[in-house]
Amino acid sequence: MFEKNNIMKRILLITEHLGPGGAERQICGLALMLTNAGYPCRLITYINDQFYEPFLRQNNVDYEFLPDLVNKKTRVWRMAKYVRQYNPDVVISYLPSVNKAMCLAKLFFKAKLIVSERNNNTCITTQDKIQFNLYRLADSIVPNSNSQGKFICTNFPFLSEKVYPIINFVDVNRFTPASEYVENETLRIVTVARYTEQKNMLAYLKAIRKVKDLGLNVHFDWYGDKNDNPSYYAEVEKEYQRLDIADYLTLHETNPKIEEEYRKADVFCLPSLYEGYPNVVVEAMSCELPIICSNVYENPYIVEEGVNGFLFDPENVNDMVSAIQKIVSISKEERRMMGVQNRQLCLKRNTEEEFLKSYIKLIESL
């Protein structure tokens, strides 16, 4: 069952589930790229959310669902046992809970371990201290943003030699511009994000109410998983009704063909309180959309104020409204040129080729 390949390094990737989030998109893409590059490669998960499973099956990526790993009491031992059986050269884990468990499991297997950081720290909690100290057991740490890489090196200098930032890729062949430049009579601003506190939606609703009061000719569309955090979504719905903004904002479910929504839009907005390297921002950029987003962590590296978009303080509703006013007030041609520039930036720094090249360089160095 677990035949060893003597030429290419064998890779095992692990994350919690295959839900529609950005981390899941990246690890599934990495599994496909490594497979196509000739590496014996398998992806495993243990929570039953299979949004990306059809993508893996259609592309002949070796994928296995292991529900036995859900049990926290036995997870570390079962992970270690599975790694010993599969006998990879390198294990790549995504998300904090998986990273911590895999670092402990590393005590019981010989394969090299790469842990991937998918968000930026907003502070240092006790759990963070535990997590980053466990990273002593990993062979390499891959933050998906330069800002998180700097954070780790500054606050946990004993990990500095292990930090190897690799920014997210975007499928530039899937996320392409509309065949003809979009000119909606009502400016359409689209957001793609989970309905969670991190994405700062309650503040965004208040900003939209202010936009409505100003009479701006704008419509907002938000696409996300309404079941990801039901209690928070209930708050969103309550505030949505209270503010009476149904004529300005439509709340959608996740769309598996989200590129089609990008192509119908004029602008992309992400009002998050914090992010790692936001996949949806670079997807929208690849579709030639100008960006308005919160001025946090990696975003200022991606969006240059007034050049390819506008930044705002996510905790200041008025500042959010101001950024919306700026993007509305510039000419269609200025917005179009911002979008064209964004596509060129993606082709320069966010291609699958650059992402894979970085990972292979790291894998082969271990």
pLDDT tens digit string along 95-140? 999 999 999 999 999 999 999 998 778 788 999 999 999 999 999 9
Examine the pLDDT at 277 and tell me if it is beyond 80. yes
**What pLDDT score does 1 carry?**
42
Please tell me the predicted confidence (pLDDT) of residue 224. Answer: 93
DSSP 305: B
DSSP-assigned letter for residue 307 = T
Q: What does each C-alpha distance from 335 to 140, 199, 309, 313 come to in angstroms? A: 40, 24, 8, 21
In 10 A of CB 185, how many CB atoms?
7
Model confidence over 309-360: pLDDT tens digits?
999 999 999 999 999 999 999 999 999 999 999 999 999 989 999 999 999 9
Tokens of 126: 């006790």
pLDDT given for residue 2 in this prediction = 47
Nearest to 141 by CA among 160, 155, 119, 120: 160
The answer to whether 244 and 228 have CB atoms below 8 angstroms apart is: no
Tell me how far apart the alpha carbons of residues 346 and 266 are, in angstroms, rounded to a whole number: 18
Residues 6 or more apart whose CB falls under 8 angstroms from that of 201 comprise 193, 195, 222, 232, 236, 271
Is the pLDDT at 5 greater than 80, yes or no? Answer: no
pTM, 2 dp: 0.77
Q: What percent of the chain has pLDDT over 70?
A: 98
Please identify which residue in the block is written with the tokens 């309550």: 238
For the stretch 18-62, pLDDT in tens is 998 888 989 999 999 999 999 999 999 999 999 999 999 999 999
Q: Is the pLDDT of residue 4 over 50?
A: no
Left, alpha or beta for 215 (phi > 0: left; psi -120 to 50: alpha)? Answer: left
What is the tens place of the pLDDT at every residue in 292-307? 999 988 898 899 999 9
69's torsion region: left (phi>0), alpha (psi -120 to 50) or beta? alpha
CB 145 within 8 A of CB 276: yes
Q: Burial level of 257, CB count in 10 A (0-12/13-18/19+)? A: exposed
Q: What is the mean pLDDT of residues 152-158?
A: 96
- Residues 165-180 have a mean pLDDT of 92
pLDDT, tens digit (0-9, with 9 covering 90-100), for 262-271: 999 999 999 9
Task: Give the sheet arrangement for strand 112-117, strand by strand.
Answer: 62-65, 41-45, 11-14, 90-94, 112-117, 140-143
Mean pLDDT of all residues in 213-236: 94
φ/ψ bin of 95: left (φ > 0), alpha (ψ from -120 to 50), beta (otherwise): left
Query: Three-state SS for 132?
Result: helix
Question: 254 or 162: which carries more pLDDT confidence?
Answer: 162
Q: Which amino acid is at 289?
A: L
Q: Give the C-alpha separation, 322 to 234, whole Å.
A: 28
Comparing 156 with 182, the larger pLDDT belongs to 156
- 342: Cβ–Cβ under 8 A, 6 or more apart, which residues? 284, 285, 286, 288, 289, 290, 291, 308, 309
